[in-house]
Structure 1
Amino acid sequence: MKINIYISLAIVLLSFLSCKKFIEVDPPSNKVVSETVFTTDATATAAINGMFSTFANGSSSDFPSGGSTIYLGMYSDELKTTLTTASVIEFQDSKLSTTNSVVNLNFWRKAYNLINIANSCISGLEKSQITPQLRAQLLGEAYFVRSFCYWNLVTLFGDVPLVTNVGDYNNVAQMPRTPSDVVIARVLADLSESKSRLKAAYPSAGRFRPNYFTVLAMLSRVHTYLGNWNDALVSSNDVIGSPMYQMEADLNKVFLIGSTEAVWQAISDVEGNNSTEGAVLVPNTPVTTIPQYVLQQSLIDSFETLDKRKTSWMNNKRVAGNIYTYPYKYKVRFNVEKTECQMMLRLAEVYLNRAEAKAHLNDPTALDDLNKVHNRAGLVSLAGLSGQSLIDAILKERRFEFFAESGLRWHDLKRTGQLNAVIGALKPSWSTNAKLFPIPEAEILVAPNLIQNPGYN
């Protein structure tokens, strides 16, 4: 299996050191770095910083940095493309081939690359004698990244190989797919490990590395997806109860660096690059440049006229007499001064997770949480809803609040069993097997125990 496995931390650290923003650590010439990199507070912190640099930097198609928004947006019912690239069109048609390069490089391999870095950090830190408090924090961050990556893999591919130890390439290449329930159990266990180690304070300036509440927000997301309503309620309560987070009254401030709504953001080290979504989704200035990705008309038409999200988070460009409407949550295409960065988890999602949990638990205050988001969009409060009508209203609100954002719409359709009805009605090429991505053919060719998902040749 081509999972970009690094056998030693030497290779990992060398990739870290290319980032000028982080502590530069020269590996010793005669020792494997994994034996030495975690011997001081500075070098151990450099390794974790490097992990987050790998997480936030890379191709705009990578799942953590815009890929989930763009490709899952097309795969569902949010976006369509003006490009003619075959691998992109396959997402728009929701008909992926086993040789799709984006699936292989940007979703599968990127995730396993990060997982292996996290595994290397966990292994090194567990044996480390650095300052105990710092060691706990860094371990918590590594466990969080591993859980985040496995969650994305299991929700997209189903059963996937579960690699939790730093092993050699040959052993990993022989691994079969692990049942999804086992992978999900590992995700929850890793989040529990992370939660037990991280503190409320962020480890560095900004909200670019996870803290205790980041873990809770992720647990809120995972438990909502799984329908674990009591657990979703508990994790959401703690985030919402923290004075660190407040809903931004101005929609144009939500995705800024320093947003009070941000629970976790990922910042790029590339000069001039604020967010990869802004760089890709906001069209270039020439009047003849057509946006590469535009919103589905059915989505645009579904917004109420007075909904501020339609005016603040969408923009239009006229080219040759045609109007193209594109996502405008991120407004900066390129700017040396960094004012925006990738939003990974935010408070509005936690509010709607809690609203949904409360609705399933017959708690009437679910409507209050729903209206917290609904009112912010400039809409009058909803009233008189309960039971399924309330749940439907929450799911509808999620569609408007999270359009073109981290693929949340795709995950909502999937977890609520609406894929066939919604995507099937929109796309003639839709197959029920498309609820899972194909395992990349390139991986199967070198990993004899990998079995393809149903419906893919």
Structure 2
Amino acid sequence: MKKIINYTFVLLLCSLFTQCKQYLDTSSPSNTDDEFVTSTTAETFKTLSWCYANYRQNCAVSLYSWNDPIGSDAEMYPEATSTNNLNAIMQSEAMTVDAMRDPFNNLYSTLARATKVAKVIAEKAQYKAAVASGSASDWTQLYGEAITLRAFCYFNLVKYYGDVPYGYENTYVDNYTLTSRFDIYDELIASLKAVEPLMYKIGEGGITAERLSRTFANALIGQIALYSGGYQTIRTDMPDLYGKVQFTAKGKEDRGCKYARRVDYLDYYKIAEQYLQAAIDTKGSVYLITSDDRTVTKNPFQRHFQYMHNLQVSPESLFEIGNIQGGQSGQTTTSDHPYNFGRPSNGGSSNAAPCKVFAAVRAIPTFYYGEYEADDKRRDVSITVTGSTGDGNESMLNFKPGSKLDGGISLNKWDDNRMNPPYSASQRQSGINYPVLRMADVILLLAEAKAELGKSDAITLVNQIRERAFGNSAHNIAGLSGDALKEAILQERKLELFGEGSRRWDLIRAGKFSEKAVAVRNEMKAMIAGLRSQGYYRFANGNIISNYILVKSVKLDNPLTYDCTDVTNPALFPGWRGQYNWSTSAVASKVKGTNHNVAIKGLFTYINPTSTEATALKADGYTVTNWAVDIMNNETSYDRNILSGIKSSDDPPRYFYPIPFETVSKSNGKIKNGYGLPQQ
């Protein structure tokens, strides 16, 4: 069982901030408070733990985790007209100015407190002695942890809001302005370089992946360097903002912004290569899971997610957001991630089998059908075609816009059925962690950096991930270089990290966001045209999506399925679905019937609903069921929800959120929103 950190809200260090003027005008606490909260390392961590809690509760769960997992050429949002995905579809100008005010302010309140913790620790004799000796200690770990938290929050601010105010924490300020993101990136990299040598690796000093470590700090340096050196949308309405940094642009300028990359970008890819490699070298107890000792399956890719279902910290994670099950008194964890992004369920809010799961992340059908290879163990773990009814039964998802069982095929990496044992008391309280960064991600980021630097050993890194995905080396890539290698790495990240919020940023950084957006929209149009003209559409890999499939309910001795061991068995193929045996649980009275599994015919092949084959299947109890016909009949909704803000491959992607009104209005005219975002 994982060791849950009790993230208490300690109010001794600095006050909570709810508006711009408050976070900029925060004054320091008294020396008496400082001495008390840093009397021991345990007391100091109690204060620092507030930062983790505030990030988890008030920053990380904002608007479906910042829209990252629902706005790419692989992922989409399921509802038809919601405003919750305006940023995901590149229509941020339609948001209100304060739509993302709370995470903006809470990121500043979190980093302000972390900064204050670091400042107080830096004055302690024990910390100074450890620094002088050049050895890591509990005090140098806490100092580095606080600085890394500060950097992580600023990284998030720049990532989501662009150029932001920087360096005003814990000082009285009534005159502030924007700081160039490139200056912020440089300062964050420098601050992390200074502290990482005296932090603990994961597994040292009691540090788990639920806390920030030297391992994560090194990886964060690498990430920040990639974001600084990669393509991004920059402002053109403030000509002096970026100082001497020069850019190479692509596409057209629009609404005071353009898509560009700094001309010295390779310097940053070199930093990224060095520190991503350092993260691997200082991995401590973290590793890429490549084996699976379970008897029911041999899928090391899924094993990573199963650790979290088991309420354990995964050995593949560099940083996980820690949650506590059940909403105990005094705890504020909500476990929103598996509710927002889990396998869908129509269950009620409490005492259901399983409880409701909204399921915001849906797979774009062209990705699911057209891009995974048949032997890839990641496909069925990552994407499911069925969900839960909430009464112990499996049901087909459908492509009608909506949520839960509506909305299309869904992310499958989190599933209440796979908990050990499943938690059925209430939605949003399962206690399942989720990773911010895992080793496979780091390995592929390193491959990205090496490929950009022209180094062929990037292929070896990609093949580490592919060998795990397929279980052998038969699918390894070879002989690639230049743009072909970069594209292969980008594609591998798409397959590996589906639904984890990376694809959107990978495309932005690679300079390919708009062209990939246009491409997937065209693929959807071609697919829908085929559905309309002939009732099905065949993809280049041979897979077929049809307007109709045939399904029936069946009984399996083991209703929760794993890797498919018999592709001819329609109840087992595709794998990783079914249901937990809820009749053995505390909600057994909620279970209906005995045939809990769904058998599917025609999922990847075409069965004419009026054919002899269909007639025989109907005689065997199968029912003709709407499938892709619901995509065709809701084409307008799919067109809106798949990157509709991009009209051409020359458009700069406008993915930033507006800086809140309070910050803009109190800046004496020095801060204005760019990118066509609202000012008030």
TM-score normalised by the shorter chain: which range applies? 0.7 to 0.9
**Mapping 1:158-173, distance limit 5 Å:** 158-168=162-172, 171=173
State the partner residue of 2:116. 120
- Give yes or no for the alignment of 1:240 onto 2:324: no
User: Between Structure 1 and Structure 2, which shows a larger proportion of helix residues?
Assistant: 1
Pick one of 197, 220, 236 that aligns with 1:218: 220
**Mapping 1:24-423, distance limit 5 Å:** 33-34=33-34, 36-58=36-58, 61-62=61-62, 67-68=65-66, 71-83=67-79, 86-96=82-92, 97-99=94-96, 101-106=98-103, 108-129=104-125, 132=130, 133-168=137-172, 171=173, 174-200=175-201, 201-204=203-206, 206-225=208-227, 226=229, 227=266, 228-241=268-281, 242=283, 244-249=285-290, 250-255=300-305, 256=307, 257-269=312-324, 271=326, 275-282=335-342, 283-286=344-347, 291-301=359-369, 302-316=371-385, 317=387, 318-319=396-397, 324-332=408-416, 335=423, 340-378=432-470, 380-405=475-500, 407-423=501-517
Question: What's the secondary structure of 1:265's corresponding residue?
Answer: strand
Verify the 8 A CA contact 2:339 2:359 in the aligned structure 1: no
Structure 2: how far apart are the matches of 1:251 and 1:100? 41
Identity of aligned residues (%): 20
Equivalent residue letter for 1:253 = R
**1:98 offset after TM fit, Å?**
4.8
State the partner residue of 1:17. none
Using structure 2 for the length normalisation, give the TM-score: 0.57
Question: What's the secondary structure of 2:445's corresponding residue?
Answer: helix
Equivalent residue letter for 2:224 = V
Structure 2: how far apart are the matches of 1:364 and 1:39? 51
My pick for the range that moved more, 266-275 or 206-215, is 266-275
My pick for the range that moved more, 371-380 or 442-451, is 442-451
Equivalent residue letter for 1:259 = S
Q: CA 1:259/1:214 → structure 2, altered by over 3 Å: closer, same or farther?
A: same
State the partner residue of 1:24. none
Q: Which structure: larger Rg?
A: 2
**1:377 offset after TM fit, Å?**
1.3
**1:351 offset after TM fit, Å?**
1.2
Equivalent residue letter for 1:331 = D
My pick for the range that moved more, 360-369 or 346-355, is 360-369
Equivalent residue letter for 2:102 = L
Using structure 1 for the length normalisation, give the TM-score: 0.83
**1:174 offset after TM fit, Å?**
3.0
Question: What's the secondary structure of 1:91's corresponding residue?
Answer: coil
Verify the 8 A CA contact 2:339 2:358 in the aligned structure 1: no
Question: What's the secondary structure of 2:216's corresponding residue?
Answer: helix
**1:320 offset after TM fit, Å?**
6.6
Structure 1: how far apart are the matches of 2:666 and 2:224? 32
State the partner residue of 2:595. none
Equivalent residue letter for 1:398 = R
Q: CA 1:418/1:361 → structure 2, altered by over 3 Å: closer, same or farther?
A: closer
Equivalent residue letter for 1:47 = T
Verify the 8 A CA contact 1:80 1:296 in the aligned structure 2: yes
Q: CA 1:193/1:360 → structure 2, altered by over 3 Å: closer, same or farther?
A: same
**1:432 offset after TM fit, Å?**
2.4
**1:240 offset after TM fit, Å?**
2.8
Structure 2: how far apart are the matches of 1:270 and 1:113? 26
**1:140 offset after TM fit, Å?**
0.2
Verify the 8 A CA contact 2:215 2:279 in the aligned structure 1: yes
Q: CA 1:67/1:339 → structure 2, altered by over 3 Å: closer, same or farther?
A: closer
Gaps of 5+ in 2: 1-9, 18-28, 131-136, 230-265, 291-299, 328-332, 349-355, 388-395, 401-405, 522-642
Question: What's the secondary structure of 1:119's corresponding residue?
Answer: helix
Question: What's the secondary structure of 2:87's corresponding residue?
Answer: helix
**1:358 offset after TM fit, Å?**
2.5
Structure 1: how far apart are the matches of 2:287 and 2:302? 15
Residue-by-residue CA offset, 1:298-333 (whole Å, 9 max, x unaligned)? 332322232221111212232578673111222238
Question: What's the secondary structure of 2:491's corresponding residue?
Answer: helix
State the partner residue of 2:657. 437
Structure 2: how far apart are the matches of 1:291 and 1:198? 37
Verify the 8 A CA contact 2:218 2:276 in the aligned structure 1: yes
Question: What's the secondary structure of 2:477's corresponding residue?
Answer: coil
Residue-by-residue CA offset, 1:351-388 (whole Å, 9 max, x unaligned)? 11222222233332221111111221117111221222
Equivalent residue letter for 2:171 = G
Q: CA 1:174/1:85 → structure 2, altered by over 3 Å: closer, same or farther?
A: farther
Residue-by-residue CA offset, 1:79-126 (whole Å, 9 max, x unaligned)? 3333467431413432113526552223x2232121112122122222
Residue-by-residue CA offset, 1:384-439 (whole Å, 9 max, x unaligned)? 2122211111111111112221x321211111111221235543433526143332
Q: For this pair of structures, how many residues does the alignment match?
A: 428
Coordinate RMSD, CA, aligned: 3.3
Question: What's the secondary structure of 2:659's corresponding residue?
Answer: coil
My pick for the range that moved more, 50-59 or 367-376, is 50-59
State the partner residue of 2:677. 456
